[in-house]
Amino acid sequence: MENVKIDSAGPVPSRSDEAKRRVRQDSGIKPGRVLLTLLMSGFALLMIMPFVWMIGTSFKSPAEVFVYPVKWIPTILNWEHHIRVWTGPAGFATYYLNSLKISLISTVGAVFLSSLAAYGFARIKFKGREPLFLLYLSMMMVPPQVLFVPKFILFDAIGIYNTHLALILPGMFTIFGVFMMRQFFLSVPGEITEAAFIDGAGHFRIFFRLMLPLAKPALATLAIIDFSWHWNDYENALVFLLDRNLFTVPLGLQNFILENTVDYNGMMAAATAGIVPMLLVFVIGQRYIIQGVAGSSVKG
Amino acid sequence: MGKSWLKRQSLLGYAFIGPNMLGVLLFFILPAVYSFYLMFTDYTFMNPAISFVGFANIERMLGDEQFYTALRNTLIFLLSVPVSILLAFLVAAALNKAVYWKKTLRALYFMPYITSGVAVAFVWMLLFQPTSGPINGFLRSIGIDHPPGWLSATESAMFAIDIIWIWFMLGYNMIIYLAALQEIPEELVEAARIDGARPWAILHRVIWPLVSPTTFLLLVTGLIMSIKTFGIIQAITQGGPGDSTTVLSLFIYQNAFRYYEMGYASAISWALFAIILVFTVLQWIGQKRWVHY
């Protein structure tokens, strides 16, 4: 955008002019704006309609599920579907603990290991750096489908197939994370580290004492993105887990639905259990998540 | 700065990237190499004796009707990407300036993207229920007597999944567009307005061309991301009814882990890689051309 020049547009309005104009624009209710707001709100309701229907249905009685016109709010709140989902033989409590354990360990490992590597790529000149980075770049193109079979054979051979390690160990390595953090470390001006070098600090000290604290926002963004990726990951769990007591939330959800094909209330109670925690995290950390998503893809 | 300094730098560099490199080697590079080898074998998991079969798997793939069905389904699936991008542009343009409750609306549109794809897919499965689900209930109430069978009919199942995917991706695309729209200088839009351009013309003639690099980026990354996805499809249709929703990535999964044809599955997975490679090359070329507009 820097090279878009608009010399013909006349003098650039000063800050105060712009502020005044803003005030003028925002004050008073404009009919066009109200109309568009209503239209966009209508579409927004359509966007969240599946969630509303899901939560409503999870409290309905079986007879109310498919009543038309849709009953958005059930006459009586039936908690029994939720109780059934959470307490069954392999209930969602187990799946939650599994998902939490896998996602947390993977995320912590991935954030640390990728920022370490990213610092190496961004800040240290060493032999073979460029070809190695190119190798990383090329690995981003390899789809997971290529890797499933050989990973399955490897995990079977080293005895971690059908254990949580099959998800945690590979989960600690993210090429995307290396890219994102490298981008950040590249953006830190050299003068900041130069002073530390003159004072005799080595790379490790600069990394831990100077760079990591500086990188807090980027680290938080990576952690959120990585965590939600692990939390929602269904495909790896599907391939590498077999035992029901090891299942993660998405896999447990599918299992529940396969075993209760006509229990629509139970299905929606299970789906609610799978979705609502992420929705809560989102409502609380909304600003950071949106900024993170927007920032990561623009910079990365 | 003698030789020893350089050597020390190299050692330090390896110390930093070493731990990550080890994992990348073990979980990305070696499996990729091994998969490339498996492509030329008859490995089936049931039969541990691997023998080299040359190009037999590739020949089989090129003569396999199901492979072409999967390609066709993939193409229909990928149609959702441009549709979602276009809708997201319109939503972002509306939310960027001209509405109240900007932040709330932005959050609502983004919500589907952060939820587990599998969980919401099950909700859609019930919404699409053909005989008494709410979507067909609505369609009947507005006078459509024979609404589509959605996920339970071969001719409409892929489109039903497209709808879910458009809904899922819309918020992400919108966020990226909102970031791009914020970069557009206010003066440019103002100038067009002073020259008498209508809002629609400003959107179409001024803003749309200005965000073209973002559109291009979203298109390529969206295509790559979507072509690798099979989770939500496996979860709700397992590729059915028939093979009407078996996209390429799901076809690979099924061959590997339902039929244990792992040599064959490896061959198809490299076909998928080839398609992604083409998209990536397009992105490189496009970036060079589109970065400055």
Furthest-apart CA pair in chain B: how many Å?
84
Judged against a pLDDT cut of 80, whether residue A143 lies above it is answered with yes
Question: Cβ contacts (< 8 Å) between B16 and chain A: which residues?
Answer: 116-117, 119-120, 124, 203, 207
**Whether B118 and B251 share a structural domain:** yes
Task: Categorize the per-residue pLDDT at A14 as very low, low, confident or very high, splitting at 50, 70 and 90.
Answer: very low
Q: What is the pLDDT of residue A27?
A: 53
Which of A257, A251, A189 is CA-nearest to residue B122?
A: A257
**Whether B245 and B264 share a structural domain:** yes
**Whether B26 and B160 share a structural domain:** no
Task: Categorize the per-residue pLDDT at A120 as very low, low, confident or very high, splitting at 50, 70 and 90.
Answer: very high
Q: What is the pLDDT of residue B177?
A: 93
Q: What domain range is B43 assigned to?
A: 3-56
Task: Categorize the per-residue pLDDT at A275 as very low, low, confident or very high, splitting at 50, 70 and 90.
Answer: confident
Q: What is the pLDDT of residue A228?
A: 84
ipTM summary value:
0.87
Q: In Å, what is the CA distance from A141 to each residue of A67, A295, B14, B268, B270?
A: 47, 21, 24, 15, 11
Q: What is the pLDDT of residue A26?
A: 52
**Whether B156 and B244 share a structural domain:** yes
Question: Cβ contacts (< 8 Å) between B105 and chain A: which residues?
Answer: 37, 40-41, 44
Task: Categorize the per-residue pLDDT at A297 as very low, low, confident or very high, splitting at 50, 70 and 90.
Answer: low
Name the residue in chain B with its Cα closest to that of A55: B123
Question: Cβ contacts (< 8 Å) between A162 and chain B: which residues?
Answer: none
The count of structural domains within chain B is: 2
Share of chain A above pLDDT 90, in %: 38
Question: pTM of the full predicted structure?
Answer: 0.87
**Whether B40 and B73 share a structural domain:** no
Can you give the three-state secondary structure of chain A, one letter per residue? CCCCCCHHHCCCCCHHHHHHHHHHHHCCCCHHHHHHHHHHHHHHHHHHHHHHHHHHHHCCCHHHCCCCCCCCCCCCCCCHHHHHHHHCCCCHHHHHHHHHHHHHHHHHHHHHHHHHHHHHHHHCCCCCHHHHHHHHHHHCCCCHHHHHHHHHHHHHHHCCCCCCHHHHHHHCCCHHHHHHHHHHHHHCCHHHHHHHHHCCCCHHHHHHHHHHHHCHHHHHHHHHHHHHHHHHCCHHHHHHCCCHHHCCHHHHHHHHHHHCCCCHHHHHHHHHHHHHHHHHHHHHHHHHHHHHHHHHHHHC
Whether residue B13 and residue A126 make contact (CB cut-off 8 A), yes or no, is: yes
Domain boundaries, given as residue ranges, for chain A: 29-78, 86-299
Digitized pLDDT (tens) for each residue of chain B, 293 residues in all: 566 777 788 888 899 999 999 999 999 999 999 999 999 998 887 777 788 888 999 999 999 999 999 999 999 999 999 999 999 999 999 998 778 888 889 889 998 988 878 888 899 999 999 988 899 999 999 988 889 999 999 999 999 999 999 999 999 999 999 989 988 888 888 888 888 888 888 888 889 999 988 898 899 989 999 999 999 899 889 998 999 999 999 999 999 999 999 999 999 999 999 999 999 898 888 777 765 44
Q: What is the pLDDT of residue A5?
A: 35
Q: In Å, what is the CA distance from B159 to each residue of B53, B76, B218, B261?
A: 38, 7, 21, 29
> Å from B181 to nearest chain A CA?
11
Residue of B176, B188, B266 lying closest to A294 (CB–CB): B176
Judged against a pLDDT cut of 50, whether residue A15 lies above it is answered with no
Residue-wise pLDDT tens digits, A62-102: 888 888 788 888 888 888 888 888 886 667 888 989 999 99
**Whether B86 and B35 share a structural domain:** no
Helices (H) and strands (E) in chain B, counts: 16, 0
Q: What is the pLDDT of residue A12?
A: 43
Which of A192-196, A265-269, B75-79, B225-229 has the least mean pLDDT? Answer: A192-196
Please check whether residue B164 touches A, CB under 8 A.
no
**Whether B134 and B249 share a structural domain:** yes
Whether residue B227 and residue A143 make contact (CB cut-off 8 A), yes or no, is: yes
Whether residue B175 and residue A293 make contact (CB cut-off 8 A), yes or no, is: yes
> Å from B281 to nearest chain A CA?
11
Determine the CATH number of domain A86-299: 1.10.3720.10
Whether residue B101 and residue A37 make contact (CB cut-off 8 A), yes or no, is: yes
**Whether B50 and B65 share a structural domain:** no
Judged against a pLDDT cut of 50, whether residue A8 lies above it is answered with no
**Whether B44 and B71 share a structural domain:** no
Distance CA B180, CA B207 (A): 10
Higher pLDDT, A187 or A172: A172
Residue of B14, B24, B99 lying closest to A40 (CB–CB): B99
